[in-house]
Structure 1
Amino acid sequence: MTRFLLFLILLSSSEAATIQRIWLSFQRETPTHLTVNWETEQPAPSEVRYGINIEAPAVPPQQRKQGFEMGSVFSDRLVTLHHLEIPIPTKDVTYDYQVVSGTETSAVHHFKAMPTKELRIAVVGDWGFAQPDLAALIKDDPHVLMTAGDNVSSLHQQGREGTKAFSALIDSQPELFRSTPFMPVLGNHDREIRSRGPKPPPEAVYDVDATAYCEFFALPGNEWNWTLTFPDFSARFVALDLEHIQDMGTTWQTGHPFDEASAQLTWYRQQMEPSRSGHTITLHNERSATMRGQLKGEWGRLFQRGSAAITGFGYFAERAMVDGFPCYNTALKGNGDKYPDPKSAFFASEHSCILLTFKPKSPMQIEIKNLAGQVLDTQSVPAK
């Protein structure tokens, strides 16, 4: 059956679409496959039907003449939280897809394949405490949306226990999450299972293992830390589990250890110490100035082996420069307390996001933008 006929079948079935909560992610360390994620009320099998949209303007004319067969991936496991990978080998095109679970289906949705000429990555922070208007970010048309932590406010308020807080996040921007791969990074609030209170209680306030987060999202590696590499642009992102490090060893401990003997530090050294060309960007949720000084400056040394570090610790927009190395802070809620980095070179109390633009064999462009789309700060960073 041709791609066109299958597209008509999908289009007709989308009129009765019942599956609404869908999001995309990458589960491998290079984006050769895309993971389609969705939820159903009742346990059901999982299927993703997909193919290249031959009507999309991005498809080269020579490919439009060929037509395409649809692909399909299926799992007979009965689940309510669905994660299925599909291969996305063709670049510079638009893909159609539809999810199916038993008698339930979604509408036909679309996502951009990986590009070859320009890659745009948006990074946001502190989504859990904001009600952002993301129209300007969506207009920037990022290929991937990443975060710098605190994606939700907690896992225990307003009936949002377990994974329900993350479901509510997806529901807040359904079209964005259906069309743009989402790669979150952990903050303390993403695993807060009890109220913090004025002093450490007898029981743990945070789930250090981030069980709900790792269950809900399909990410590379350990999921609480991960890497994602875009070989065509010599660009790599490294996600760490760093936040509220002063509470380590108490019932307020939020994340995985980061000391000299820790698995996290060993893993990060493995990512950063080999000589690599291109760009490596570190994402985390601790204050950069605090983290740079840990272990007699070892964490700062490892940061600086890359091209930039981005955190969502404070509710403001900032770029600090440490011996020419840029450390960013971004927050969708940008009107909080001000505590600039000692090396601060740009600071603004504005709701913000960061847009990174990569082109082959070109410097990386990093822009701090407010949510009206205005560029507040821009840097051109040569490849290592």
Structure 2
Amino acid sequence: MRTLLLLLSVFFVPHIVSSAEIQRIWLTHKSNQPDKIVVNWLTDQPGDSVVSYGLTPETMETRRLEETTTLHHVEIPLTHQNATYHYSVKTRHQRSDVNTFKAYPTDTLRAAIVADWQSKPDLSSLIKEDVHLLLTAGDNIRNLWQTCGAGERACIKPYIELIDTYPELFQSTPFMPILGNHDREVHPRGKTRPAHAVYDVEATAFRRFFELPNEEWKWHFDLPEFDLRFIGLDFNHISDFGTTWQTCHAFDRNSDQYRWYESLTAKAPGKVVTLYNERNANIRNQLGGGWHQLFQRGTICVTGFGYYAERAEWEGLTYYNTSLSGTGTQYADPHSRFLAGKDGYLLLTCNRSSGMMTAELKSLKNEVLDRQTFPSSARESSKP
């Protein structure tokens, strides 16, 4: 009997080890509309990339990429609404459980915006919102250099740690982050400017890990059913531009970013939500108020610059600040209408029939801190 058990261990244990479940999975979009979704995952051993997906576990189709990699990105079509998709991933002998995510709705859409994820807080309250889409206003990790070593631009370990902290959330909810300065900090910032660049402006690790639309450091995502457009911009620490502390791309009138945003908002949908990671007052005053004039074509601007919850209003436009680490020093906007030191997020609820969008600043204890409503028109708003 002992001999038989020994033989079984020799021949079958290696197979069991190589068949470990794939658990690091996250969902993103790299197209500009919700007719496709990207399933991303990590494996211990390199191999091909296979996604099985469908409305039931019994009727799943398969999409395969013949490649040899441990970081997998496979885009699949979304042809149904108001439904639940089932999916699983496989690489050689490694496979995942069957997971699910919601197809986009046709009546009421829920989207949450978070920022300042460094502390990795309890997100039970946000998870209960059961949102269709999770976005960020920057600073998704603490930095790169502490985990990866100074100067390592392509290291994705801090993003892996983020996925590992909330596995069920990322397996079930499409995720669209934007950049903050912490997301590309490859050297310690220090108190004086060094000779070398502290930040990787091109955000190599971020763009390697996430599959996002456009250039990825800036992107837009449309939800035509709700006449809604999200635009992610790259603003952070703009006062350091042109120094070794520079962290974001150019934002002058001749920059690709300015011209791109100007074009996107010239014929924008009824509602435009603009995301970035700079203090609202700082960026809207740039170019003699030029950015503010472009922002006025949209509905709201959302940043994660400060560690607090805030709503400000200036010349008919609403500016938000939201933070999962909301108890830090407060730098109130000159036009602040609401300000609170609360850990929280911004919840957007869009109703297709009325065309209205409700924006709620909510705490991580599920308190509604502030609520505003916005009609489909980008230049009018009403408050309950």
Q: Distance in 1 between matches of 2:299 and 2:307?
A: 23
Report the counterpart of residue 133 of structure 1 in structure 2: 122
Are 1:120 and 1:144, in contact at CA under 8 Å, matched by a contact in 2?
A: yes
Which secondary structure state, in structure 1, belongs to the residue aligned with residue 59 of structure 2?
coil
Q: Distance in 2 between matches of 1:326 and 1:91?
A: 31
2:139 to 144, 150, 170: 150
Report the counterpart of residue 227 of structure 1 in structure 2: 220
1:241 to 234, 237, 244: 234
Q: Deviations over 1:314-334 (max 9, x none)?
A: 000000011221100000000
Q: Deviations over 1:192-240 (max 9, x none)?
A: 0000011111110000000110010000000000000001000110000
Which secondary structure state, in structure 2, belongs to the residue aligned with residue 282 of structure 1?
strand
- 1:367 is aligned to 2:360: yes
Report the counterpart of residue 265 of structure 2 in structure 1: 272
Which secondary structure state, in structure 2, belongs to the residue aligned with residue 280 of structure 1?
strand
Q: Output aligned runs, 1:21-36, within 5 Å.
A: 21-36=24-39
How many angstroms does 1:100 deviate by? Answer: 0.2
> For structure 2, which runs of at least 5 residues remain unmatched after alignment?
1-15, 378-384
Q: Distance in 2 between matches of 1:158 and 1:305?
A: 41
Q: Distance in 2 between matches of 1:277 and 1:363?
A: 13
TM-score (norm 1): 0.90
Which secondary structure state, in structure 2, belongs to the residue aligned with residue 355 of structure 1?
strand
Q: Distance in 2 between matches of 1:305 and 1:249?
A: 29
1:123 to 99, 106, 113: 113
Report the counterpart of residue 4 of structure 1 in structure 2: none
Q: Distance in 2 between matches of 1:23 and 1:95?
A: 14
> For structure 1, which runs of at least 5 residues remain unmatched after alignment?
1-12, 55-67
Which secondary structure state, in structure 1, belongs to the residue aligned with residue 66 of structure 2?
strand
- 1:262 is aligned to 2:255: yes
Which secondary structure state, in structure 1, belongs to the residue aligned with residue 205 of structure 2?
helix
Q: Deviations over 1:1-56 (max 9, x none)?
A: xxxxxxxxxxxx9xx651110000111000101100001122110000011038xx
Report the counterpart of residue 41 of structure 1 in structure 2: 44
Report the counterpart of residue 60 of structure 1 in structure 2: none
Q: Distance in 1 between matches of 2:277 and 2:167?
A: 25
Q: Distance in 2 between matches of 1:145 and 1:205?
A: 29
| Letter in structure 2 aligned against 1:156 | W
Which secondary structure state, in structure 2, belongs to the residue aligned with residue 339 of structure 1?
coil
| Letter in structure 1 aligned against 2:145 | H
Q: Deviations over 1:133-163 (max 9, x none)?
A: 1111111110010000000010110347511
Q: Deviations over 1:231-263 (max 9, x none)?
A: 100011000000000000001000101012111
- 1:323 is aligned to 2:312: no
Report the counterpart of residue 246 of structure 2 in structure 1: 253
Q: Deviations over 1:58-103 (max 9, x none)?
A: xxxxxxxxxx732110001111110001111110000110000000
Which secondary structure state, in structure 1, belongs to the residue aligned with residue 146 of structure 2?
coil
Q: Distance in 1 between matches of 2:61 and 2:29?
A: 18
Report the counterpart of residue 307 of structure 1 in structure 2: 299
Q: Distance in 2 between matches of 1:131 and 1:91?
A: 32
Q: Distance in 2 between matches of 1:141 and 1:195?
A: 37
Are 2:87 and 2:98, in contact at CA under 8 Å, matched by a contact in 1?
A: yes
Are 1:368 and 1:375, in contact at CA under 8 Å, matched by a contact in 2?
A: yes
- 1:383 is aligned to 2:376: yes
- 1:349 is aligned to 2:380: no
Report the counterpart of residue 62 of structure 1 in structure 2: none
Which secondary structure state, in structure 1, belongs to the residue aligned with residue 339 of structure 2?
strand
Write out the 4+ residue segments of structure 1 that deviate beyond 6 Å after TM superposition: none
Are 2:312 and 2:318, in contact at CA under 8 Å, matched by a contact in 1?
A: yes
Q: Distance in 1 between matches of 2:148 and 2:235?
A: 27
Which secondary structure state, in structure 1, belongs to the residue aligned with residue 145 of structure 2?
coil
- 1:80 is aligned to 2:70: yes
- 1:19 is aligned to 2:11: no
Structure 1 residues 228-237 or 157-166, which shifts more? 157-166
2:55 to 45, 49, 52: 52
Q: Distance in 2 between matches of 1:146 and 1:335?
A: 21
Report the counterpart of residue 10 of structure 2 in structure 1: none
| Letter in structure 2 aligned against 1:135 | S
Are 2:111 and 2:131, in contact at CA under 8 Å, matched by a contact in 1?
A: yes
| Letter in structure 1 aligned against 2:142 | S
Are 1:53 and 1:93, in contact at CA under 8 Å, matched by a contact in 2?
A: no
| Letter in structure 2 aligned against 1:313 | F
TM-score (norm 2): 0.90
Are 2:180 and 2:235, in contact at CA under 8 Å, matched by a contact in 1?
A: yes
- 1:95 is aligned to 2:98: no
Q: Distance in 2 between matches of 1:277 and 1:239?
A: 15
Q: Distance in 2 between matches of 1:51 and 1:17?
A: 23
Are 2:302 and 2:320, in contact at CA under 8 Å, matched by a contact in 1?
A: yes
Which secondary structure state, in structure 2, belongs to the residue aligned with residue 127 of structure 1?
coil
| Letter in structure 2 aligned against 1:351 | D
| Letter in structure 2 aligned against 1:44 | G
How many residues in Structure 1 have an aligned counterpart in Structure 2?
355
